Amino acid sequence: MSITLKSSAFEDGGMIPAKYTCDGENVSPPLTWEGVPDEAKTLALICDDPDAPMKTWVHWVVFNIPTSVKELPENTPAIRTLANGARQGINDFRRIGYGGPCPPGGTHRYFFKIYALDTELNLEPGATKEDLLKAMEGHILAEGQLMGKYSRQR
């Protein structure tokens, strides 16, 4: 089963506007989704960059998003627990919440991945992507992704 993940800021496979990067305001882009299975209990979201040197770079980790929530708005606050009850993990900039694209060179791909889960995860805010992936094992009902690209103008 597949979830449709979209942003009003960029098309799938398109360029991410500078506003959402380290060259701009470094705020999270608006994201919306549809197609979450009825039996899902929570959602989780990961944004990462597999083109980073050395390792995949993690830009955002969000989990225990209530299934009643259909979007993460632009400039989602960088706080441990959001008003809707969702929890945010730590990114590879060592901060809670979203950290925008900031590639050292070339064009990088940024994958926003959403997961519908059959459970609420027993993870504290500040969890890592690795913690989240381990906790989600065997609980993923459906998923979807949105990919954007970014290269810094020098």
Model confidence band, residue 1 (pLDDT cutoffs 50, 70, 90): low
**Neighbouring C-alpha atoms within 13 Å toward the C-beta of 23:** 12
Phi, psi (deg, nearest 5) at residue 121:
-85, 140
- Whole-model pTM: value is 0.96
What's the pLDDT score for residue 123? 97
Q: How confident is the model at residue 153, as a pLDDT?
A: 78
3-state secondary structure of 143: strand
Range(s) of the domain holding residue 27: 4-150
What does the pLDDT look like over 88-137, one tens digit per residue? 999 999 999 999 999 998 999 999 999 999 999 999 999 999 999 999 99
Q: Indicate the length of the chain as a whole number.
A: 154
CA dist., res. 89 & res. 62, Å (int): 6
Domain count within the chain:
1
CATH number at residue 100: 3.90.280.10
Rounded Cα gap, residues 47 and 115, in angstroms:
12
